[in-house]
Structure 1
């Protein structure tokens, strides 16, 4: 990039990054049957004025639907948190998690297994929430410690639950990926399999509500974590990769090796950035019979570039390769500008800190350069299975709906675009906080597509 436009470019890019924090979904094409058409509005904060804190609170309290959080406990914890303060967030959620971990232990010791199980599930969620904003220092020992307590507590809950399951290790390159295999029963019968994966900032324990809903509907369910996610980044130190087909293939190979899996009836569901990862994998994996992108994500770099070009000035004639090439030089002016924005905005801080953590990037520029490789341009058309592209009308990660629409437009397979309005609170990212509407509409599509009884 020519030095003469660097300053203008940096200022323009900085403004765009603050306004467009991530790639998500929205489109007015088709409303889900669970939510009638209304004007698109941003949901008011439930507890916090800070948008990122408000969304993460909604994400946590939404687990109440499956009994893995409780509204009163969440509200009481939130009331003690200082707005926008990451340390306060950690301390209060950690205290709540410890409280209900201890309560579960006491219940188990007294022989109250169900009460212990329920307390453990809630504590696991609260530990996971506590750890969420710690990634600004990748060497902070609390990351692995708190994540480890969340997983341990979740596994203690699973051990007391009635749903058959197995903790599995999936062969991957020269290591393994962690997973949970949930079963309808212990019969060993070959059944339809639903594979569910998380995205940019999730752990697979958070996918438990999806697994439970799948089991209720007759699916065996496999969840897993790949590079950049959960245990794989925290313990194995393996960062994200854009060519996710090299992750999905070994996962599917493992799945079909199990007698409980009907190899002709495998569905794949990607959550959040999984709305890019899952279709990327499905494009090269003929064993996928149905795909849910939740929400649809088409091209991170193209979306960023389009916004820059619309800003005019020196950036108007920039190409995607110009942007990528400049970011790869790790320009100090870009990093300084982003770090200044991070100091002033919680969402920008979280996005860049977590991005550097999960990509093992040493600076914001290195993170963005790597993230720009996440593209389905020239790939989406290779997907052959029926595909559901989801979107939320109040999804603050992409309020213009560019990504879901672009993915839908570039699919050549059987496809459906399902947009959730916010009339009854289902318009947020991944419909978090509205599992009843979300599961009803998405699983009904999946049941119809896979020929399930539901």
Structure 2
């Protein structure tokens, strides 16, 4: 008999998941439609509206999103054959992200998952071949495998080294979501972007590179070494950007790679031991992370390992400014843990905090809707770091009116 995979709660509460999915839709555990549409643009809205009409239980996710991805891939191939390269690249981009969405619910190593990931890569490669800027597939050697990445250069790149951001999403946001098809906040500011999947994330576990509590520290060294070998990258102007669980992983890298001039992390996962996300939120989070760690059949071993997910021992090693973007009602990681880390950080650790903001800082929360765009804020803050502008400690607290109230930093309360 095949051993049971995933946490006990996932199996015991599966009927609840299906019931909530029918009532709350695709975003029962997180705003996956919103964060996937952000890089795709409004042209992909119809794909997700169709998905919402067809998906009534968890088992529907993979086949429905696979169908939608294949439709887009066929449209891309037809457009490319007809010489309509702009239409083709847009369809390829949409197809890649729809394949990535189809991959998300598969939490086991299997041929189906590998095939979907191969199709995703092929479609994103098609987009890259026709994109309005340089997009390159990268495989950075790491242990017995590699860290998969896409390397983007800004539109109009004319040679020479440019400031570069190492960019990662979270446990459910692969590298293909890191750069917008058009109008990307970092590319528009002249950054090159190395969008990568670290250990356990996105494509990496499909290729055998699983998460461990220290794997991202080693991955950070490999990423920086790769950057030092590329003539397009200004190794003296490197920064990091990480979202959701990437707020933990990128902080690990920032604390152990002193060449980074700064890092911005948001949609925080900073609770030591991750009790909220793994034991109180939808069991889909824990089920996926168990597979990401290669422990999908051993919940007890995973629980023991999860106790080691803790930034407190590392934050004191920060050597560059560290921006934290969070909602003050984050349901996956209570914001007080981020305040505590900012207070302990030896470098400037400013914070952008949205009143009533939940984990994903999604609409229609008034402070998020009317306040500063948090990606814009982060990109501008990182641009200041590569230009040598000094950082300081403060809390920009966004009110429901959209007004920003400058508040004392937690370091002041700690004195």
**What band does the TM-score fall into relative to the shorter chain?**
0.7 to 0.9
Q: Which deviates more, 406-415 or 387-396?
A: 387-396
Runs of 4+ residues over 6 Å off in structure 1: 432-436
2:128 counterpart residue number: 158
**Of the two structures, which has the highest relative contact order with CA contacts closer than 8 Å and spacing of 6 or more?**
1
State the secondary structure of the residue aligned to 1:77. helix
Contact 1:352 1:364 in 2 (8 A): no
Q: From the superposition, tell whether residues 432 and 218 of structure 1 become closer, same or farther in structure 2 (CA, over 3 Å).
A: farther
1:175 counterpart (145, 157, 168): 145
State the secondary structure of the residue aligned to 1:283. helix
- After TM superposition, give the deviation of residue 448 of structure 1 in Å: 2.3
2:16 counterpart residue number: none
2:252 counterpart (280, 288, 296): 280
Gaps in structure 2 of 5+ consecutive residues: 1-7, 14-20, 390-415
Q: From the superposition, tell whether residues 297 and 255 of structure 1 become closer, same or farther in structure 2 (CA, over 3 Å).
A: same
2:47 counterpart (45, 56, 73): 73
The answer on 1:100 being equivalent to 2:72 is: yes
Contact 1:381 1:410 in 2 (8 A): yes
The separation in 1 between residues aligned to 2:174 and 2:348, in whole angstroms, is 30
Contact 1:392 1:420 in 2 (8 A): yes
1:379 counterpart (287, 303, 314): 314
- After TM superposition, give the deviation of residue 75 of structure 1 in Å: 1.1
**Higher-Rg member (1/2):** 1
2:34 counterpart (20, 41, 58): 58
- After TM superposition, give the deviation of residue 60 of structure 1 in Å: 2.8
The answer on 1:429 being equivalent to 2:360 is: yes
Gaps in structure 1 of 5+ consecutive residues: 1-12, 19-44, 308-337
RMSD: 3.3
1:188 counterpart residue number: 159
1:357 counterpart residue number: 291
2:337 counterpart residue number: 403
2:179 counterpart (186, 208, 231): 208
2:63 counterpart residue number: 91
State the secondary structure of the residue aligned to 1:212. coil
The separation in 2 between residues aligned to 1:169 and 1:397, in whole angstroms, is 32
The separation in 2 between residues aligned to 1:54 and 1:181, in whole angstroms, is 28
- After TM superposition, give the deviation of residue 100 of structure 1 in Å: 1.3
Contact 1:166 1:180 in 2 (8 A): yes
Q: From the superposition, tell whether residues 165 and 47 of structure 1 become closer, same or farther in structure 2 (CA, over 3 Å).
A: farther
Q: From the superposition, tell whether residues 427 and 90 of structure 1 become closer, same or farther in structure 2 (CA, over 3 Å).
A: same
The separation in 2 between residues aligned to 1:59 and 1:158, in whole angstroms, is 21
Contact 1:218 1:452 in 2 (8 A): no
- TM-score normalised according to structure 2 size: 0.79
- TM-score normalised according to structure 1 size: 0.72
2:381 counterpart residue number: 445
The answer on 1:370 being equivalent to 2:305 is: yes
The separation in 1 between residues aligned to 2:269 and 2:341, in whole angstroms, is 6
Contact 1:183 1:215 in 2 (8 A): yes
The C-alpha deviation readout for 1:146-184, integer Å capped at 9, x for no partner, is 222122111111111110132222232343322222112
1:28 counterpart residue number: none
2:119 counterpart residue number: 149
Contact 1:299 1:377 in 2 (8 A): no
1:3 counterpart residue number: none
Q: From the superposition, tell whether residues 78 and 250 of structure 1 become closer, same or farther in structure 2 (CA, over 3 Å).
A: same
The C-alpha deviation readout for 1:189-220, integer Å capped at 9, x for no partner, is 11111111233233211112299321210111
Q: From the superposition, tell whether residues 371 and 200 of structure 1 become closer, same or farther in structure 2 (CA, over 3 Å).
A: farther
